[in-house]
């Protein structure tokens, strides 16, 4: 029998009350979600906008000393070339990012009383130039790169600094300063490694945590290395005595970084030696042989 009674109605949906806690969650959640969405889109666009292209500037003849400043990128220095062939090639690869904005990076050069000055700059500090330089014999060189790797062969009197990249040297002579610390003025650095060979009389090598591995063919008058925790390996010529200062960690350093790594010093040592070696590894392993 068919019922003539009206069908029972569905219960009304329960209204979600906006409590103070839910209002706070809503106020905080929406901006955070939007920020994450914007950041994800920016990362995708930035990655797709990055690229590289080859550039070629007019060759720059190197005369007198060389002072070179590259905001970023790898630099290769080849010493001992004939003066007629000594030049900055002006070719390389420029890497750029989202802020490149179509403006071509600039290469500025000048001949000064002290020699040749080369400066490579980016419009928005977001590009890098990888380049090669031929250097005449006995020409002092100063190169600064904010993060790229530097390779130097056959240079005399060199000051090489890269903010976090690696330094590779071969046959450097005279007075040599090598620095890879990305944060030289901060309490905790972070830098690349220093490695290679040298026949220099005075060497200063400093990393912000990277290792130092140097082989010397002549005994240095002064060799001062600092690693802020990186390992140190020094191979010195035999038949000489060396005045070695292996600086111990301070109590505060030991508390922060933990106990020191082992040290192995097998060269002949003498406090009266004219060849002075100072090692400050801040707890890194030290090997001198």
Residues 6 or more apart whose CB falls under 8 angstroms from that of 90 comprise 55, 56, 57, 58, 59, 60, 107, 131
Mean pLDDT of 94-103: 51
> Which of 121-135, 143-157, 180-194 has the highest average model confidence (pLDDT)?
143-157
Instruction: Work out the mean pLDDT of the chain and round it to a whole number.
Output: 80
pTM above 0.85, yes or no: no
Tokens of residue 118, six digits: 């080369």
Which of the two residues, 261 and 97, has the higher pLDDT score? Answer: 261
154 CB-side CA count, 13 A: 11
Tokens of 127: 């590009």
- For the chain, the farthest-separated pair of C-alpha atoms sits apart, in whole angstroms, at 121
> Is 91 or 69 the better-scoring residue by pLDDT?
69
Query: Is 260 in contact with 206 (CB distance < 8 Å)?
Result: no
- b/e string for 158-171 if b means 16 or more Cβ within 10 A? bbbbbbbbbbbbbb
**How far is 59 from 89, CA to CA, in rounded Å?**
5
Sign of CA dihedral 47, 48, 49, 52: positive
Judge whether residue 215 has pLDDT over 70.
yes
Residue 270 structure tokens: 């003498």
pLDDT digits (tens, 9 = 90+) for 163-194: 889 999 999 999 999 999 887 665 555 789 99
Segment 211-215 shows an average pLDDT of: 97
Residue of higher predicted confidence among 217 and 120: 217
- Show Cβ contacts of residue 169 under 8 Å, excluding neighbours closer than 6 positions: 151, 152, 153, 155, 158, 160, 176, 178, 194, 195, 196, 197, 198
Residues facing 170 on adjacent strands: 153
Label residue 248 by pLDDT band (50, 70, 90). confident
CB atoms within 10 A of CB 283: 20
**Nearest residue to 279 (alpha-carbon basis) of 243, 252, 237:** 243
Any idea where the domains of the chain sit in the sequence?
Answer: 64-151, 170-289
SS3 69: strand
pLDDT in tens, 109-118: 999 999 999 9
Question: Comparing C-alpha atoms, which of 216, 269, 217 is closest to residue 245?
Answer: 269
Of 155, 23, 129, 185, residue with least CA distance to 77: 155
- Residue 148, CB half-sphere, CA atoms under 13 Å: how many? 25
Nearest to 80, CA basis, from 180, 2, 158 = 158
**Is residue 251 classed as helix, strand or coil in its secondary structure?**
helix
What pLDDT shows up at residue 146? 82
Distance CA 269, CA 275 (A): 10
State the Cα–Cα distance between residues 228 and 283, nearest whole angstrom. Answer: 8
Average pLDDT over residues 99-104: 52
What is the pLDDT at residue 26? 55
């Amino acid at each position: 029998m068919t019922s003539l009674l009206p069908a029972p109605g569905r219960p009304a949906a329960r209204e979600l009350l906006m409590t103070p806690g839910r209002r706070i969650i809503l106020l905080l959640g929406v901006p955070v979600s939007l920020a994450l969405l914007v950041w994800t889109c920016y990362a995708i666009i930035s990655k797709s906008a990055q690229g590289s292209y080859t550039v070629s500037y007019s060759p720059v003849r190197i005369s007198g000393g060389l002072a070179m400043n590259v905001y970023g990128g790898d630099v290769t220095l080849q010493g001992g070339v004939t003066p007629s062939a000594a030049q900055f090639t002006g070719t390389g690869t420029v890497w750029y990012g989202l802020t490149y904005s179509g403006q071509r990076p600039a290469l500025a050069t000048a001949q000064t009383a002290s020699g040749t000055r080369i400066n490579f700059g980016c419009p928005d500090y977001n590009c890098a130039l990888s380049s090669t330089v031929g250097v005449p014999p006995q020409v002092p060189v100063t190169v600064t790169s904010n993060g790229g790797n530097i390779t130097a062969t056959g240079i005399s009197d060199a000051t090489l600094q890269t903010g976090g990249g690696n330094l590779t040297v071969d046959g450097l002579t005279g007075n040599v300063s090598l620095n890879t610390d990305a944060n030289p003025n901060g309490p905790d650095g972070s830098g690349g490694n220093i490695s290679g060979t040298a026949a220099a009389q005075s060497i200063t090598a400093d990393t912000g945590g990277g290792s130092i591995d140097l082989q010397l063919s002549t005994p240095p008058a002064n060799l001062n290395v600092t690693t802020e925790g990186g390992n140190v390996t020094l191979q010195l010529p035999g038949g000489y005595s060396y005045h070695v200062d292996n600086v111990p960690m301070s109590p505060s350093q030991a508390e922060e970084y933990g106990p020191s790594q082992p040290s192995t010093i097998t060269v002949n040592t003498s406090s009266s030696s004219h060849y002075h070696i100072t090692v400050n590894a801040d707890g890194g392993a030290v090997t001198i042989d």
